[in-house]
Amino acid sequence: MRVTPTPAPLRATDRTGPLGRLARLALATVAALSLASIVDQGGVVGFRNPSVLTEPSVWFLDAVMLVAFVYLVGQLAAAQWGRAAARRWQFGAVIGLGIALAVAALMGWAFFGAVWGFPLADLVWAFDVLMLSETMVAVLLAIALGTPGCEIGVWPELIARARGKRFAPSVGPACIVGLHLLDSWEARHRWRTRPDEEPAHPVEANVDEARAVAPQETLRPTQPRIGRQ
């Protein structure tokens, strides 16, 4: 049976290296600049201007924050009630957010004669500010703790630490900026430069090939032949 190495996700003992922490510092800087851009330009009052809807950067920011929000809800739900509950909580969060936006738009149209403005613009502005602030805090905590994968995974790690449980890092494809890819590459590179240590990824047997190998036959003792006298 041939033993072949197979790639495996990062383990809880794999912590981010200098490149991963530097990338997270850059991400925190981008989040801080984005937050400053929507706070300094008149704050929520300036965000009510209809010209905001013509800026592609605002739509891009809202889309990214929405994806981050859904992923955050899923991670927190999985940490509290397991992976099976994550999908339900994510679906419920999207439905709840959609209802809140629709109600705000109807109120603006009914009381002020415009959909965009108070309270819809205020709700979107507050949502962006809250998610950008959460991103900054999560990234800084991930840098301090060395949490691998998406920065949102720092919250499940803190929950697991508080409960005295082992933390499984989040390295799923939902990590928008691909931090999990950088962490995996850096972990493999660290092991290759230090061959005296154990590899970061376990070595598993090729099960399919093992099943294809026929079992060895059992040797039966031969009975001595007694010739005719």
Write the CB contacts of 65 (distance below 8 Å, at least 6 apart in sequence): 127, 128, 131, 132
Residues forming a β-bridge with 170: 149
Mean of per-residue pLDDT scores for the chain? 80
**Residue 108 contacts residue 114 (beta carbons within 8 Å):** yes
Answer whether residue 5 shows pLDDT above 90.
no
Q: Is 82 exposed, middle or buried (0-12, 13-18, 19+ CB in 10 A)?
A: exposed
**Residue 172 contacts residue 184 (beta carbons within 8 Å):** no
Which is it for the CA torsion 28, 134, 128, 45, positive or negative?
Answer: negative
Q: Closest Cα to residue 14, out of 208, 168, 152, 117?
A: 168
- Supply the pTM of this predicted model: 0.74
| 46-61 per-residue burial string, b: 16 or more CB within 10 A, e: under 16 | ebbeeebeeeeebeeb
Answer whether residue 198 shows pLDDT above 60.
no
Percent of the chain with pLDDT over 90: 51
pLDDT category at 225 given cuts 50, 70, 90 is: low
Residues 94-107 pLDDT 10s: 999 999 999 999 99
Task: Give 106 or 177, the one with higher predicted confidence.
Answer: 106
Centroid of chain to Cα 32? 20
